[in-house]
């Protein structure tokens, strides 16, 4: 079944569990250096991260806000093959958490008057997609365009559970140009008429990237570095459209019982502006705080970014941002995104005022459905511990209607 045509539950239902990585055994999690803080959540978040790092998960990094500052933690190992521990400063591929950053740059251009949400592909990129010139930037950013996804074509329309891991390794080891990704996506039929439904498309964000680059004359990686990372204080982050990783890297791995595939060569160009940011968990938290507090775009633009419109309302999706019920404040909402990499998964959420924010990434994604469901429950525990009010961890089994079993039967990428 085509991923865009599945029934998608509200919020992050199609996102979090994803791919599992195979481990040769059940390695004991290595405790990472603990951050020192008086906030009582630190021990709870650390315990949840430690519990997350059980086979097939190899290692994890996480961060949350306490008393106005960012607390960074880690658990487990950086690689399925080595004993080097994950550290709070370790960088990881945060996958589609990138989308909010790309959307932020697009909204900066909207504020500058070079783009509008109703700017069309035909106006900005004539000839890019014949017959679909009327698709708008807004439809690309909120996944209501119906544009097919190159990732789905590259996977030959197979669910993660069905993929030979060697095929995935081969696919991600090569470089893809932005327009090449568009041409790959064009091999599929258009999913639905623009504005009539909601379908998650990484290629929609590649085209949004091309639109931003066309009106600015500058590459998105540079724009994000100068306009997002620097003002937000994200000093260990970058949009990487190649294989380069600096610093202590969390190495992606895909796991099935008895089988582990390490992604020692992972070219991020396959995701580009849709999902190619590499960052620490602390830097992701700094991004959401800066965004929500109006330090990257105006408060009015933030309000537009977090407001679903039209066919995106049932999905709870604004522009690069999901809306998720807040388990600590009944009736409240959190804003953010999840990410499904080839051998990792991420989640980042923040309150509207930016005073509460959390993020984590783990490596060692399960590539079988039961494993994904089991790891999903551990992810929920990290989420609850990190976003709870100081006096407790929230109530109930999790945020109703928002965080589903991430990926369910399809294990979405991006």
What confidence score (pLDDT) does residue 246 get? 63
Domain 13-387, CATH = 3.40.710.10
What confidence score (pLDDT) does residue 399 get? 33
The residue with tokens 């630190």 is: 42
Give the C-alpha separation, 357 to 351, whole Å: 6
Q: Tens digit of pLDDT for each residue in 241-270?
A: 888 766 559 999 999 999 999 999 999 999
Query: What are the sequence ranges of the domains in the chain?
Result: 13-387
Paired tokens of 99: 């989308």
| Tally of CA atoms within 13 A in the half-sphere of 90 that contains its CB | 29
**If you count them, how many residues does the chain have?**
414
What confidence score (pLDDT) does residue 403 get? 46
Give the C-alpha separation, 397 to 384, whole Å: 9
| Tally of CA atoms within 13 A in the half-sphere of 119 that contains its CB | 22
What confidence score (pLDDT) does residue 17 get? 30
Q: What is the full per-residue pLDDT of the chain (414 aa) written as tens digits?
A: 345 433 333 334 333 333 222 222 223 233 333 444 456 889 999 999 999 999 999 999 999 999 899 999 999 999 999 999 999 999 999 999 999 999 999 999 999 999 999 999 999 999 999 999 999 999 999 999 999 999 999 999 999 899 999 999 999 999 999 999 999 999 999 999 999 999 999 999 999 999 999 999 999 999 999 999 999 999 999 999 888 766 559 999 999 999 999 999 999 999 999 999 999 999 999 999 999 999 999 999 999 999 999 999 999 999 999 999 998 888 999 999 999 999 999 999 999 999 999 999 999 999 999 999 999 999 999 999 998 755 433 333 333 334 443 433 347 789
What string of H, E and C letters represents the secondary structure of 211-275? HHHHHHCCCHHHHHHHHHHHHHCCCCCEECCCCCCCCCECCCEEEECCEEEECCCCCHHHCHHHC
3-state helix, strand, coil in the chain (%, to 5): 35, 15, 50
Give the C-alpha separation, 336 to 8, whole Å: 17
Give the C-alpha separation, 291 to 169, whole Å: 35
Contact assessment for residue 153 and residue 202, using Cβ atoms and an 8 Å cutoff: no
Q: Find the DSSP H helices in 37-118.
A: 41-52, 98-112
Paired tokens of 140: 């690309």
Contact assessment for residue 231 and residue 224, using Cβ atoms and an 8 Å cutoff: no
CA 45, 47, 48, 49 dihedral sign is: positive
Neighbours of 68 (CB within 10 A): 7
In angstroms, the Cα distances linking 280 to 64, 246, 286, 355 are 12, 12, 10, 19
Which H or E element spans position 320? none
Contact assessment for residue 238 and residue 221, using Cβ atoms and an 8 Å cutoff: yes
The backbone torsions φ and ψ at residue 312, rounded to the nearest 5 degrees and listed phi first, read -85, -10
Contact assessment for residue 412 and residue 14, using Cβ atoms and an 8 Å cutoff: yes
Task: For residue 56, say if its preceding peptide bond is cis, omega within 30 degrees of 0.
Answer: yes
Give the C-alpha separation, 318 to 305, whole Å: 5
Task: Tell me if residue 76 falls in helix, strand or coil.
Answer: strand
Contact assessment for residue 190 and residue 148, using Cβ atoms and an 8 Å cutoff: yes
Contact assessment for residue 172 and residue 266, using Cβ atoms and an 8 Å cutoff: yes
Give the C-alpha separation, 168 to 261, whole Å: 9
Contact assessment for residue 70 and residue 89, using Cβ atoms and an 8 Å cutoff: no
Give the C-alpha separation, 160 to 373, whole Å: 14
**Buried b / exposed e along 21-37 (16+ C-beta atoms within 10 A):** bbbeeebebbebeebee
Give the C-alpha separation, 176 to 243, whole Å: 12
What confidence score (pLDDT) does residue 389 get? 59
């Amino acid at each position: 079944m085509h991923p865009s045509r599945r029934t998608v539950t509200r919020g992050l239902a199609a996102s979090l569990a994803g791919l599992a990585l195979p481990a040769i055994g059940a390695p004991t999690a290595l405790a990472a250096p603990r951050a020192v803080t008086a906030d009582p959540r630190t021990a709870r978040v650390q315990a949840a991260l430690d519990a997350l790092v059980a086979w097939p998960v190899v290692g994890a990094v996480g961060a949350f806000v306490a008393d106005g500052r960012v607390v960074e933690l880690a658990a487990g190992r950086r690689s399925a093959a080595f004993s080097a521990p994950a550290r709070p400063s370790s960088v990881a591929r945060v996958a589609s958490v990138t989308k909010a950053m790309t959307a932020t740059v697009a909204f900066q251009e909207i504020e500058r008057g070079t783009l509008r949400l109703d700017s069309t592909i035909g106006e900005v990129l004539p000839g890019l997609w014949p017959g679909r010139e009327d698709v708008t930037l807004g439809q690309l950013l909120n996944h209501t365009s119906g544009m097919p996804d190159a990732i789905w074509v590259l996977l030959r329309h197979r669910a993660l559970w069905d993929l030979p891991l060697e095929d995935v390794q081969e696919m991600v080891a090569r470089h893809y140009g932005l327009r090449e990704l568009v041409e790959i996506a064009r091999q599929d039929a258009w999913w639905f008429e623009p504005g009539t439904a909601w379908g998650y498309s990484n290629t929609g964000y590649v085209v949004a990237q091309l639109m931003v680059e066309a009106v600015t004359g500058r590459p998105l990686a540079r724009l994000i570095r100068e306009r997002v990372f620097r003002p937000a204080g994200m000093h260990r982050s970058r949009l990487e459209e190649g294989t380069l990783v600096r610093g202590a890297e969390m190495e992606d791995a895909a796991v099935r019982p008895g089988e582990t595939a390490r992604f020692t060569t992972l070219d991020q160009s396959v995701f580009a502006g849709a999902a190619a940011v590499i960052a620490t968990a602390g830097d992701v938290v700094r991004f959401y705080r800066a965004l929500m507090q109006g330090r990257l775009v105006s408060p009015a633009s933030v309000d537009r970014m977090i407001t679903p419109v039209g066919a995106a309302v049932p999905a709870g999706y604004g522009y690069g941002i999901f809306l998720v019920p807040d388990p600590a404040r009944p009736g409240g909402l959190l804003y953010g995104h999840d990410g499904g990499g080839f051998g990792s998964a991420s989640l980042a959420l923040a309150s509207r005022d930016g005073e509460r924010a959390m993020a984590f990434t783990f490596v060692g994604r399960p590539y079988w459905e039961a494993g994904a469901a089991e790891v999903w429950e551990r992810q929920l525990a990290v989420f609850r511990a990190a976003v709870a009010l100081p006096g407790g961890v929230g109530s109930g089994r999790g945020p109703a209607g928002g965080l589903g079993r991430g990926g369910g039967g399809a294990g979405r990428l991006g």
